[in-house]
Structure 1
C-alpha cells in the first residue's frame, strides 16, 4: 500500500464500488438492468451527474453496458483480468515498430483512425493565418536575434494567465517554450536521468515516451493503468520502493491511449507519494483542454508544494499542430531546463509563437475550445456506437470524459497487428496495442481516433474493420 493517507472517496466512486460489489457477488446478474439514473439519484440523494459518472466508471471497467434509450445493464460476462506488465525494469526497443506501423507508405488513407491529431477541419485555420500575419507585423528586429532565449514573452505571459484562471500561480519565468510538448518532455527526461536509470511509465502508455526512454538508454518500469482513473498508485508505491526510479512520466488527464482521467484526490495522492520519495513528475498534459463537459481538470501540478512537477502543455492538439508550439512549466527545474533548451535548439519558431500569442490575446481561443469539445464528444459517441455495433461480441470500448481516443479491447484470440496490416491495405489506419507497451503486451487491443468528423464514409470504414477483425482472428 501507499504510505500516503488514503483520500476520501468521492460520491460517484462510492456508488460505483457499491454496484461493482453487487455485480461480483451475483446479486446483480449478467443482462440485468441497473436502476435508472432518476431512481438512483433519488435513493442515494445525489445529483444526476454523480450517477452518470459512476455508471461511466463501471462501463469503463467492463462491468456494465449502456443501451441507447434503454439505460444501463450488467455486462453479459465478467471482464477478463487485466494484462499486467512485467514489474522488473527493462530496456525499451519500440522505435522500429513505431516507424513501421505509423508510416503509411504508399497507402492512400481515407479513414485516419490511427491518427494522433484531431481533424484539421475542426481547427481555426483561417483565424490562425490572420494571426500569423498580424503577429509577425509586430515583431521587432531584436526579438529575432537578441531575445530568442526563453521564448516569446507575451506568449509565456498568456500561458501564465491561463494557469491563473485554473487557480495555479505559475510565473512566466517558470515557463520554457519548446518545439511542441514532445521536445519539452524529452528535454525534461534527459535533464532528470542518466543512461541505465529506471523511469516509471504507464502501461499501456504513450509510445513517444517509450521512444524517449529507448533513445536515452533508460529502463522502463511499467505501472498498470486503469481505463477510468489512470495509474495504480499502490502498484507505483511498491515499484518505487523496489526500483528507486529517477523520474515518472504520466498523463494524468485524458491519457493516450486509454483516455483515463485521474480524479483530483488521486492526483494529490500521486504528487504526495512521488515527492515523499524524491521522484520528479513529468506531467504530459496535452489533452487537458479537451474535456467533453465542464472545465478542464486541475493538473497534478496544482498539488505540488516543492516545485518537482514539470508540467508540459501544447497547442498542437487544440489549435495548430504544424506550428509546434509547446511549453513546460518546470518548477524548480526551470533554469536547468532553459539551459538544456538553449544548448539543443536555442529557440522555437518566433513567428509561430507570435502568431499563437496574437490569437490568444484576441479572445477567440475559449470560444473555439467550446465548439471543439462539443464536436469531439459527439464524434466519440458515434464512433463508440459503431464499434459496439460492428465489432465482435465481447469487445470492450473505453468511454473517456475528454480527448479524442478510445481504447478497444477485442476478445481473446484477435491480433491487432494483423488487423492493422489488413486495414492499411484498404486505406484505414489504426494504432495497434503493442505500440503502447515496452513489453509488447495488448496484442488484442487497439486505439482509435475519434477526432474525425463522423461521416458515412467513416461509418463504412468502422463496419469494414469489424469484418476484417473476424477474418484476422488467430
Structure 2
C-alpha cells in the first residue's frame, strides 16, 4: 500500500507540472535515478510512476534518451471550473429535458453524444449471444424457475472472485444482485433514509440520483466538486450534522469524470465511519480506467460496513441486460428484505449469462480492448473539440469512464442550444440536467463511447460550429 501511494504521489506531482505548463510538450523529464534520489524511493517505484503517466499519454519514452512530455499532453483548453453550488441560483426542474433526451434514443439518424450508453460496435454481442444459448440449455427449467432473493449464487460468486481490487474482502455472501446499478442505489437509499432526510452528492451529479431522491422525498445537498479530484471533503465536514447518507461516484464521476485520490477516499471513509453516516458508492465506471491499474473503491477502506458498494455491467458489457449488484455491508439484510417485497426475485437468465462471461476470462479480455478504445476515443474527442470549438471552451481530462464535460462561454444556454443541435440531428446532454439548482447552463456532457470514424469528427465539427454561432 505504501509503495503504491508513493508512486501515485510522484506521478501526480509530475502530472500537475505538465497540466500547469511547468513541464511543456517535448520537455525531458528528470532521469529515473534523479527522481529516485529526490523522493528517496526505489527504482521500481519511480518506474511505476513513469509507466502510469505513460499509460495516460502524458509522457512518452524515447529509446536510449529517457522520458519526454508527449504531444497529446499539449492541451489548448483549460479544465472546467470547480463547482460551487449555490442554493440562491434557484431550483431547477430538468425532468422534461431528461425525457426529451431519452426519447430520441432509438432514432438512428441522430448522433447520440448524449446518453452514457456504449455503441453496440464496441460490445461483444456475438459472444454474449453464444453464452445465452449455452445458459438456456444448462440452467434449471431454462431460466423459468425462481431464485433466492439475494440473487444468482453463480453471479455473486463470480463478482466476488473477479473483484480483485477488494483484496479478497468480498465473498458471494456479501453481494446482492439488482436490476442495474441505479436500482442498487435505490435499494441503498431505501435502507438508510426516510422521507424528509437529506443526502450529500457531488455537483454536478448524475441526474438519475436527483430523480431518485425527489421520488423518495429526500433533500439533496450538492457539494463543491473539482474536475480532477472530486468532492471537497472540507465542505462535506460542514454539513455532516445535516445529512443521513452520502451518495458519491469516487471513480470517474458522472458527468465530470473526476477521480478521488486514494488518500481522500480513506479520509472520507474514516470521517463517515466516525459519524456513522452510510456511504452509497456508485462504482459503475471503476473498471473503465485508462491508467495501469484499477482505482480502488472506498469499500476497500471500510472496516465497519458503512460503505454500500454498487456496480454493474450496463456501461461495460450489456446495457439492456440490467444486471447490477451491491455489497451493502451491515445493511445487507434490509436490502434483501426490500428486494423480496418489491421484486420477489430477478430474472435468472441474464444473470447467468454475465456469470458465465466472467467465469472464463472473457470479461477481462473484453475490458482490456474496450478501455484502450475508450482512451483513444477520449483523446480524439479532446483534439477535435480543441480544433472546432470556441477558444474559451473548457474541457475535462478524465482518467477513465465514458464522458467529457465541457464548460462553454457564460452567455450560452445549452438547453436552448440542444433544440438547435437536434434540428441538425445532433444530441448532447445539457449541463443543467445535472443539478437541482439553476446552474451549469453553459455546460454539456458528451459521450465518447462510440465507434470513431470521420463522420464522428465531422459531427463534432458541426456541433462546434453551432456553439460558435450561439456566441
TM-score range, shorter chain: 0.7 to 0.9
**Which residue of 68, 71, 82 maps to 1:69?**
71
Asked if residue 238 in structure 1 is aligned to residue 232 in structure 2, the reply is no
- Cα distance in structure 1, aligned partners of 2:73 and 2:259: 23
Aligned residues of 1:94 and 1:210 also touching (Cα < 8 A): no
- Cα distance in structure 2, aligned partners of 1:371 and 1:412: 38
After superposition, the C-alpha distances for 1:163-185 in whole angstroms (9 at most, x for unaligned) are 24641411212211111111111
- Cα distance in structure 2, aligned partners of 1:191 and 1:162: 26
**Which residue of 13, 33, 36 maps to 2:27?**
36
After superposition, the C-alpha distances for 1:123-147 in whole angstroms (9 at most, x for unaligned) are 1111111111111222224974453
- Cα distance in structure 2, aligned partners of 1:12 and 1:250: 25
- Under a length normalisation based on structure 1, what TM-score does the superposition of the two structures give? 0.86
Per the TM alignment, residue 453 of structure 1 is displaced from its structure 2 partner at its CA by: 1.3
The equivalent residue for 2:182 is 182
The equivalent residue for 2:161 is 161
The equivalent residue for 2:469 is 471
- Across the two proteins, how many residue pairs are aligned to each other? 447
- Cα distance in structure 1, aligned partners of 2:100 and 2:72: 43
The equivalent residue for 1:419 is 417
After superposition, the C-alpha distances for 1:217-260 in whole angstroms (9 at most, x for unaligned) are 1111011111111111111111214x2x1110000111111111
- Cα distance in structure 1, aligned partners of 2:236 and 2:88: 12
- Cα distance in structure 2, aligned partners of 1:137 and 1:104: 36
Please give the root-mean-square deviation of Cα atoms over the aligned residues, in Å: 3.1
Aligned residues of 2:94 and 2:432 also touching (Cα < 8 A): no
Q: 1:379 aligns to what SS in structure 2? A: helix
Distance 1:70 1:383, change over 3 A: closer
What are the within-5 Å matches in structure 2 for residues 276-291 of structure 1? 276-291=274-289
Q: Which runs of 5+ in 2 are unaligned?
A: 37-45, 59-67
Asked if residue 199 in structure 1 is aligned to residue 218 in structure 2, the reply is no
The equivalent residue for 2:132 is 132
- Under a length normalisation based on structure 2, what TM-score does the superposition of the two structures give? 0.87
Distance 1:83 1:260, change over 3 A: closer
What are the within-5 Å matches in structure 2 for residues 139-158 of structure 1? 139-141=139-141, 144-158=144-158
Q: 1:203 aligns to what SS in structure 2? A: coil
Per the TM alignment, residue 12 of structure 1 is displaced from its structure 2 partner at its CA by: 3.4
The equivalent residue for 1:402 is 400
- Cα distance in structure 1, aligned partners of 2:107 and 2:361: 40
After superposition, the C-alpha distances for 1:188-218 in whole angstroms (9 at most, x for unaligned) are 1122111111100100111100101110111
- Cα distance in structure 1, aligned partners of 2:464 and 2:103: 23
- Cα distance in structure 1, aligned partners of 2:154 and 2:73: 49
The equivalent residue for 2:63 is none
Aligned residues of 2:89 and 2:437 also touching (Cα < 8 A): no
Distance 1:55 1:437, change over 3 A: farther
Aligned residues of 1:293 and 1:373 also touching (Cα < 8 A): no
Q: 1:38 aligns to what SS in structure 2? A: coil
**Which residue of 263, 268, 271 maps to 2:269?**
271
Asked if residue 355 in structure 1 is aligned to residue 353 in structure 2, the reply is yes
After superposition, the C-alpha distances for 1:409-448 in whole angstroms (9 at most, x for unaligned) are 1122222112211111111110011011111211111110
Aligned residues of 2:309 and 2:326 also touching (Cα < 8 A): yes
Q: 1:441 aligns to what SS in structure 2? A: coil
The equivalent residue for 2:430 is 432
What are the within-5 Å matches in structure 2 for residues 115-126 of structure 1? 115-126=115-126
